[in-house]
Amino acid sequence: MPAIQWSEVVELDAKLSVVAVGLQATILARVEKLSAKYYGGDTDPRYKLARILLAAHIATPIAYGGGISGPVTSRSEGGVSESYAVPPILAMGAHASTVHGRAFDELTRSMPGRIGPLSS
């Protein structure tokens, strides 16, 4: 399967069109390193989808503005209160900070190589 194009990432999320061209190339080069074999081979549509989702995940903080998202915990005692965010990697998974990353994680978890060969 040929390398994915940035236009395919933008089809998933139009806001990602604002990512600078040079950075687009860097992100695309990174996602091309995913194992085709793990995602069913070069011609498997899941391999293409995995690369698009991962590219969108990497680009989202750039396009939308960065920051930690996830569960916020706080505590108060007397007149002092403290609030902090739990990094999403600890709370929900390695790519949990974006909707595209969560979809990538779900796709990755569903691959036969992850759950082992199935037999009848």
For the chain, the structural domain boundaries read 6-115
Residue 87 pLDDT: 59
To 5 degrees, how large is the angle CA 60–CA 91–CA 54? Answer: 30
Give pLDDT < 70 ranges for the chain.
Answer: 1, 66-73, 85-93, 115-120
Name the pTM for this structure: 0.75
What distance in Å separates the CA atoms of residue 27 and residue 30, rounded to the nearest whole number? 5
- The H or E element containing residue 24 is helix 21-31
* Tokens matching residue 120: 């009848």
